[in-house]
Each structure stands twice: as structure tokens, then as C-alpha cells.
């Protein structure tokens, strides 16, 4: 599946990114609801509005900022964990909205649900990603997921596919300087992320 990018020419000089692709052998989570969302591809121009209206996740960083950066991530993806860490220095100036998807394995949806429904999702995400990068597998989570939460994760996963993405993390944002919608698959370091978003020095 091709990934569509709408990015500034300067981004072509960025280093290759690391991402996790869909596990073709994985089956849908048990009890997953039937697909209800549209399968119509999402154009870059509408991506921000569609994610704001249909995506479900949690916000981190500058919560009151009107300009959100959307990150579709799988809790089992170590590259997503690295992007989370890279985003932390930007939390004082950027609002990130993290949308969990389930494309990696059977732990993806339960862990995404646990993070989304935690009393403090940011704290839960930080603990999970630390555990994942340490090789401990991430947060322990029950496979018994509330139907509405499971449906939200399924919708996020469908949005990822409708964006034309084949891997995570997948970032959708509005460039701070050009005001263009930019999309990118893969993790990068803090400076590269700031450049991608059109920010100054982190």
C-alpha cells in the first residue's frame, strides 16, 4: 500500500525513519465489532478535520493549543515508543493527540484501551513506553475491553488505513510555518520532529 505524503521539500533531506508495519498474520481482536466506518480514502486536505471528528485518544503537551499534532500509534510498536520519547521536549509548545490502533498483535488493543481509559493517560503512556523499550512488553492489560473503547480503537485503525498508511507511528499535522497539512510514517529524533512540524529549536 502506498503512503501519501504532503510535505515540504526540505523534509526530503531527513534521515530514513523507522516504523512498524502491520502483522499480516494477526487476527482481529476477539469480540471486535464489525466495520462501520467509511473505507473512503482521506485526502491530505481533510485529514486534520477527519481525525479531529472521528479519532479517539488522549492529548499530551500544550493541551490548550488550537493546532493539534495527531499520532496514530500501536502500543506494541517500539518505534512509536521512541517517537513518544522524542516528543517530550516539545510538550511545552505542541499539543499531541495520540490515537491507539491495533495492527501489531493481540496485545495492541488491550494495551491501547488501558492507556486510553487510565485516570492519567499521559502517565500511563509514559510508563508503558518505558516498559516496552526496556523489553518488558509494556503495560499489563485485560483482554476484556469495553465495547465502546474497542470500537474507538477499531475506528482509529480504519482511519490509519484510509490515510493510506501501512505502518506506525503515523503523524498528521499542520506545518507551523507553511500551514500545509503534512503526513509522515516513522519515528525520528526531537530535532527532526521539530523541523517536520515547522518549529524552531526544541
> What does pLDDT average to over the chain?
86
Percent of the chain scoring above 70 in pLDDT? 82
Query: Which residues touch 49 (CB under 8 Å, ≥6 apart)?
Result: none
Tens digit of pLDDT for each residue in 26-53? 334 433 444 444 689 999 999 999 999 9
- 137 contacts: CB under 8 Å, gap ≥ 6: 107, 131
pLDDT in tens, 68-78: 999 999 999 99
CB 75 within 8 A of CB 11: no
Q: Phi then psi for 95, rounded to 5 degrees?
A: -95, 115
Give the SS3 label for residue 67.
coil
157 near 28, Cβ under 8 Å?
no
Distances, alpha carbon 91 to alpha carbons 61, 63, 86, 136, in Å:
4, 9, 10, 26
Model pLDDT for residues 162-186, shown as the tens digit of each residue: 999 999 999 999 999 999 999 999 9
How far apart (Å, rounded) are the C-alpha atoms in residues 25 and 6?
A: 31
As a whole number of angstroms, the longest Cα–Cα distance in the chain is 46
CATH superfamily of the domain spanning 39-194: Glutaredoxin (3.40.30.10)
DSSP letters, 25-45, are TPPPPTTPPPP-S--PPPPHH
State pLDDT tens for residues 97-122.
Answer: 999 999 999 999 999 999 999 999 99
Global pTM reads: 0.84
The closest alpha carbon to 39, from 176, 193, 132, 164, belongs to 164
DSSP state of 11: G
* Predicted local distance difference test score (pLDDT) of residue 39: 81
Three-class secondary structure of residue 77 per DSSP = coil
Amino acid at each position: 500500500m502506498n503512503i501519501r505524503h504532503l510535505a515540504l521539500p526540505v523534509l526530503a533531506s531527513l534521515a530514513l525513519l523507522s516504523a512498524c508495519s502491520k502483522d499480516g498474520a494477526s487476527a482481529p481482536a476477539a469480540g471486535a465489532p464489525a466495520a462501520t466506518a467509511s473505507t473512503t480514502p482521506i485526502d491530505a486536505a481533510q485529514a486534520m478535520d477527519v481525525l479531529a471528528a472521528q479519532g479517539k485518544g488522549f492529548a499530551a503537551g500544550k493541551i490548550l493549543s488550537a493546532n493539534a499534532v495527531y499520532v496514530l500509534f500501536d502500543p506494541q510498536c517500539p518505534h512509536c515508543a521512541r517517537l513518544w520519547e522524542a516528543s517530550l521536549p516539545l510538550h511545552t509548545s505542541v499539543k499531541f493527540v495520540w490515537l491507539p490502533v491495533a495492527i501489531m498483535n493481540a496485545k495492541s488493543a488491550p494495551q491501547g484501551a488501558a492507556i486510553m481509559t487510565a485516570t492519567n493517560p499521559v502517565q500511563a503512556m509514559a510508563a508503558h513506553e518505558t516498559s516496552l523499550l526496556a523489553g518488558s512488553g509494556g503495560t499489563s492489560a485485560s483482554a476484556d475491553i469495553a465495547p465502546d473503547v474497542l470500537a474507538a480503537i477499531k475506528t482509529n485503525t480504519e482511519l490509519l488505513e484510509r490515510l493510506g498508511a501501512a505502518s506506525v507511528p503515523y503523524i498528521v499535522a499542520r506545518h507551523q510555518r507553511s500551514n500545509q497539512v503534512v503526513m509522515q510514517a516513522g519515528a525520528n529524533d526531537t530535532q527532526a520532529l521539530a523541523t517536520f512540524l515547522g518549529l524552531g529549536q526544541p
